[in-house]
Amino acid sequence: MSGVYVSALELFSIGIGPSSSHTVGPMRAARAFVDELREHDLLGHVDRLHIRLHGSLAATGIGHGTPDAVLAGLRGMTPETCDPALVHGRWADLSAGGSIDVEGIPVTAADVAFEPFARDLGHPNALTLAATRGEDELWASCYLSIGGGFILRAGSRPPEPTPVPSSYRTATELLAAVGEGRIADVAWADEVALHGEAEAARGLDAIWAAMSACVAAGVSADGVLPGGLRVRRRAAAAQRALDERAARGERVAAEERLAVWAMAINEENAAGGRVVTAPTNGAAGVLPAVLHYLVAEHGAGRDDVHTFLLTAAAIGSIVKANASISGAEAGCQGEVGSACAMAAAGTTAVLGGTPRQVENAAEIAMEHHLGLTCDPVGGLVQIPCIERNAVAAATALTAARIALLGDGQHVVSLDTVIETMRQTGADMSSRYKETSEAGLAVNVVEC
């Protein structure tokens, strides 16, 4: 029986904001489509490209930068290496009557269709790309952006995972596999099998470097976030205020720094900057902020960083396999709830917790996000997303501390909470799952 482990190098992918499912995934899908045309020797025969955004990608796509991302992917860009400045703003150019060249094929705003009520294509996040010549359709593909930047062609099965040493599919099975060892060691063995020791270590270091760079950028940037809500960036001013208090000899609580770091990351994400999907962009501030806390307050070093990321990846893999990390599929419980559980698990591991305490911390963190809706105002990853990440970072620490005070024995298992999250997401109205059709999205007046 194959396991569910998703490499930390994939689960924590380096990309751009503002959304893993609405920006990163569609960019990858569009690039894959052009690769398909090239593979079948069709590019030279195409005179028009058609882009159809379905479901949540249509409902909140403009606010999440989906048209920009698709256009970037069609032009051969990838989330890992693209310059964000060359991605964002292209849809505005098309809306103003311009066009963009894709392999010699002009693309205009008329080539992009929004279909928010088309939600039966296999996932709430779907897009169809088609290439035509005259009246003839030469090639078409429908892709599903299934969360965290991962994509799947509609109608196809997920690819068989590369064999790894572990075979767990649930948290209960993971605990049995770990025994008296560490969850991070089981995850590390899988990483080595997938990438080799040197590449796995280099990848984890690159992820942490990108997370750190995102914090540094976020606490250095002032101004107003794009999108029309006129949300002012607060992290830089808050960082200066804390520094001034510290300089005067006043006490600055570590949790205050934690909140600033989480907001800094999500402001960078909302601005479309470089960010690490962890496990999504909408929840990208939780894990890095908590990891920064461990470095600053507990002296966590390189090995600890690796332990944190590997433990979090093992827990995130179980959530992804048995429920969802997609806001469009499960609401924000699937995004911020998953991130909080992963961060709580990683923190408990770094602070010396047993595997059962790690599992307990993840359970506590996720349990208290059950039912959390995804209702971004204006379809933007700003309100309530930025503050929500700061709150979840604090919750992750609290969950870890509660777990470390106990012996790992508890009534509700992580597997039970994950299954409850899956059921809750299935029962939740689509209006509360990244469509901006209910909740804060309709009760807050956009100015």
Full 3-state SS string of 213-247: HHHHHHCCCCCECCCCCCCECCHHHHHHHHHHHHH
pLDDT value for 307: 98
The residue among 54, 65, 55 whose CA lies nearest residue 24 is 65
pLDDT tens by residue, 29-43: 999 999 999 999 999
Helix (H, G, I), strand (E, B) or coil at 147: strand
pLDDT value for 192: 97
Kindly state the tokens that stand for 155: 């109608």
Cis ω before 384 (30° cut-off from 0): yes
pLDDT tens by residue, 307-327: 999 999 999 999 999 999 999
Cis ω before 26 (30° cut-off from 0): no
Q: Taking the domains of the chain in order of start, what are their residue ranges? A: 8-12+161-443, 22-146
pLDDT tens by residue, 55-76: 999 999 998 999 999 999 999 9
Kindly state the tokens that stand for 174: 């993971």
pLDDT tens by residue, 155-178: 888 777 778 999 999 999 999 999
The CATH architecture that domain 8-12+161-443 belongs to is: Orthogonal Bundle (1.10)
Kindly report which listed range (16-30, 109-123, 398-412) carries the lowest average pLDDT score. Answer: 109-123
pLDDT value for 155: 87
Mean pLDDT of 275-300: 97
Mean pLDDT of 237-265: 97
Mean pLDDT of 119-140: 93
Kindly state the tokens that stand for 302: 């390189």
pTM of the shown model: 0.93
Mean pLDDT of 1-20: 91
DSSP string, 247-275: HTT----HHHHHHHHHHHHHHHHHTT-EE
CATH 3.30.1330.90 at 22-146, yes or no = yes
pLDDT value for 118: 83
pLDDT value for 255: 95
Residue 122 — pLDDT band, cuts 50, 70, 90? confident
The residue among 276, 285, 355 whose CA lies nearest residue 315 is 355
Length of the chain (residues) = 447
Contact 36, 55 (CB under 8 A): no
pLDDT tens by residue, 367-419: 999 999 999 999 899 999 999 999 999 999 999 999 999 999 999 999 999 99
Would you put residue 140 in left (φ > 0), alpha (ψ -120 to 50) or beta? beta
